Structure 1
């Protein structure tokens, strides 16, 4: 924030210069007052000389009056303009008090209404975090500064889960659901965090959350996995097998979690005395992987409005689905125009692949502060059908980014 304080200091110096100007000019005013007093004294001395000469008979009455008029005229000429300056003085106390109160008052108002926290937060997000703890602190500050950011709360919840802080994650996901709506993916994440926060104890609340998620999306992977875990730990091995088989049928073939889930199914079968190999698990045909070729460029009219090191975020978002991006990549303005690829391999979460949604929109956002959720300029595509396979989309950043 050093640049901010330098600018504030310069503005303060300018303000103080205006306030202290009367004091700096005080000596000049005093000198003018001294000169006026001297002129008056000389005038009086001149009158005394004229009177003495008239008494000695050296001057007539007419000559005396003419001499007095000349002396008065000279006095007026010497003191002209002094009175206006004397009336304009504020005194020394008023500027000094104002010079002390203005910066104190301005600083207090800035602390109350200013955005120093957001300025510092934007600077921090422009740098790579050195640890997961540092990233957590940044996300906490981000949601504190922007409490209505569903994306910020979501990523904070995921970070808490990675740090094995399910109680904090549950609060974050509850806030996401409040902001973004009761979407099945979010309900599953919320239920999972609550389950681990409560010591792996199943409850009617968790059942209601997973049931609601699966009614909206029968293939919601977090809910299926969680129901399988809860059933296995309660000894309901057949139910666990059923949930996990549905989960395996949903996951893409390259998903690394498939083998772990198949291992869980095998253990559940062993508990039932069923030696059927995991390879016999039925599966429905999986959706073909989606991959979009995107040509991102900047409108010529904006070339003078951006900086080479401004961040450029390119992401895909479901037309009907979660508010969070499905896949994203980050560039800088210096790299534009650029050709990038977004697809299932770039999914931000395994269960949120582009191939799971019929339509997506592509967005490219320029953010000087390095904030993926808010920037200065943006470009957006029309709704694109993911079932049409590989395609090339041209995306031009040409519009102001409005909230």
Structure 2
């Protein structure tokens, strides 16, 4: 931050110069004016002496006129070049008072309305965190600086869940749900956090959130997994097989969680057999094929002149109707452009949010000097496109990032 404060200090000095320089010039002009007044007073005194000498008979009229002319020439010589006549004069007290108050006023206004916290935070995000605690601290300060960021609250909730802080995660997901228009993926995460925060109790609030999520998206994976767990814990094994079976049906073939879910289904079937019940057949459908989008990324000529070679470039896809966070992301540098990247399910930021799970996405390329994927200086967007129409796409970074 030292370079920022140095720049602010230089701007403050420039502002003070506009106040103090006219004041100093005014003082010099005042001194010249005082000298002129003294010369006039001496001239008038000389005229009075000459008149007195004429009245006393020491000088005649011709000598009096000659003395007056000489005194006038001396006065003109003394006042010549003292500066133009000033129509107004700058006061001294007001500029000095403003010069003293201005630095403190500027500092107070900046600390109240400025964005020094966002500047420091963007620099931190440009560096990789050394621990999960450091990442959590960054995300907490990020949502304080940008409380209207649904992405920030969502990732903070996910981070809390990895630290077994389910109650804190529930509060974060609640904010994310409010800011994202209650997207089903966020509702599923919120319900899951409340479930674990309440000692694995399927409360009325958890049930309501789960029902709302499945009403909006019957294949919402977090909700299906949660209801399967809750049903298994309550020994409702048929329901657990149903939920987990629907979950496996929508997961990609290479998803690492498929084996664990299949194992849960088998345990539920065994429990039903032990109780003499007939287990239902799990409706496991064929897994969705993976989706790969090839994206050509470039800059317009106007943008090329305003970016630096080391600036980060984030290329990502996000659902047109779905969660606000990116589904798949690749990171480049400006010096790499133009470039072609491939976005696929393997680039998913979270296993349950894959390209193949969403029928329509938008491609985005963002230049961020601070290395922040959610905010930057320049951006380019594609029109909404169908993930079923995999092929080559193009995104040109052509305008300022106005969020």
Moved segments of 4+, more than 6 Å: 83-87
Bigger drift between 148-157 and 109-118 goes to: 109-118
**Residues of 1 paired with 2:314 and 2:96: CA distance?**
51
Number of the residue aligned with 1:299: 300
**Residues of 1 paired with 2:183 and 2:134: CA distance?**
29
Runs of 5+ consecutive residues of structure 1 not aligned to the other structure: none
Question: Does the C-alpha gap of structure 1 residues 118 and 58 become closer, same or farther in structure 2, counting only changes over 3 Å?
Answer: same
How big is the shift at 1:266? 3.3
1:2-401 maps to which residues of 2 (within 5 A)? Answer: 2-21=2-21, 24-25=24-25, 28-29=28-29, 32=32, 35-36=35-36, 39-40=39-40, 43=43, 46-47=46-47, 50=50, 54=54, 59-79=59-79, 90=90, 92-274=92-274, 283-389=284-390, 391-401=391-401
Q: Confirm or deny: 8 A CA contact 1:312 1:331 kept in the other structure.
A: yes
Q: Confirm or deny: 8 A CA contact 1:361 1:383 kept in the other structure.
A: yes
**Residues of 1 paired with 2:215 and 2:247: CA distance?**
15
Q: Confirm or deny: 8 A CA contact 2:184 2:214 kept in the other structure.
A: yes
**Residues of 2 paired with 1:196 and 1:377: CA distance?**
41
Bigger drift between 78-87 and 317-326 goes to: 78-87
How big is the shift at 1:9? 0.9
Question: Does the C-alpha gap of structure 1 residues 379 and 34 become closer, same or farther in structure 2, counting only changes over 3 Å?
Answer: closer
Question: Does the C-alpha gap of structure 1 residues 97 and 315 become closer, same or farther in structure 2, counting only changes over 3 Å?
Answer: same
Q: Confirm or deny: 8 A CA contact 1:184 1:212 kept in the other structure.
A: yes
Q: Confirm or deny: 8 A CA contact 1:213 1:223 kept in the other structure.
A: yes
Question: Does the C-alpha gap of structure 1 residues 400 and 15 become closer, same or farther in structure 2, counting only changes over 3 Å?
Answer: closer
**Residues of 2 paired with 1:27 and 1:362: CA distance?**
64
**Residues of 2 paired with 1:31 and 1:216: CA distance?**
82
SS of equivalent residue, structure 2 residue 308: coil
SS of equivalent residue, structure 1 residue 388: coil
Q: Deviations over 1:9-55 (max 9, x none)?
A: 11221222233335645774576367446635753674476457646
Q: Deviations over 1:84-133 (max 9, x none)?
A: 67886546433322210111222222222222222222222222222222
Question: Does the C-alpha gap of structure 1 residues 95 and 218 become closer, same or farther in structure 2, counting only changes over 3 Å?
Answer: closer
How big is the shift at 1:381? 2.1
How big is the shift at 1:291? 0.9
Q: Deviations over 1:198-221 (max 9, x none)?
A: 121111221122122223322221
Query: TM-score, structure 2 length as denominator?
Result: 0.88
Question: Does the C-alpha gap of structure 1 residues 4 and 84 become closer, same or farther in structure 2, counting only changes over 3 Å?
Answer: same
Q: Confirm or deny: 8 A CA contact 1:29 1:85 kept in the other structure.
A: no
- Aligned residue-pair number: 400
**Residues of 2 paired with 1:327 and 1:269: CA distance?**
36
Q: Confirm or deny: 8 A CA contact 1:22 1:92 kept in the other structure.
A: no
Q: Confirm or deny: 8 A CA contact 1:213 1:220 kept in the other structure.
A: yes
Runs of 5+ consecutive residues of structure 2 not aligned to the other structure: none
**Residues of 2 paired with 1:249 and 1:92: CA distance?**
82
**Residues of 2 paired with 1:37 and 1:217: CA distance?**
91
